Amino acid sequence: MSCYELVNGAFEEAQEPVDQEAGDDYAQNILKAGYFHQICTETHESSGAEVSLYETNDSGKPRYFIDVWGVSQQIAGLIARDFPHLLQTMKALAPLVSLVGLGQQADIDADRVIARASRS
């Protein structure tokens, strides 16, 4: 997986703070790296793409880690050094986050249509 950091308005490759080889469960690897889950776009009605925000108190690591998943695999990780940097990074990611939300809404709507049809 690739990791990026927003530098002067452009994304550049960065050192990933999560050890991908620490085990089979990447979410557990994030926790082992000292990050805790703060925010996620995941919905209980959708199994599609999602964006998750993690934070750490470890001063030797970037304060924030953003994990971006597609439907079938991880797309990228991003780091932000502090809260203002996080806001800039999220602003740059806004179109992608909107796309994730549209996909989730389409899945939710399709599930509702199928559920209604099966009750008829």
Q: Which strands form 74-80's sheet, in the order they lie side by side?
A: 10-13, 3-7, 74-80, 64-69, 50-55, 36-40
24 exposure class (CB count in 10 Å sphere: 0-12, 13-18, 19+): exposed
Largest CA-CA distance found in the chain, in angstroms, rounded: 58
Please say whether the beta carbons of 109 and 86 come within 8 A.
Answer: no
> Token pair of 66, please?
């953003």
Domain ranges within the chain, ordered by starting residue: 3-119
pTM of the model: 0.81
Tens of pLDDT, residues 59-115:
999 999 999 888 777 889 999 999 999 999 999 998 888 887 777 777 777 777 887
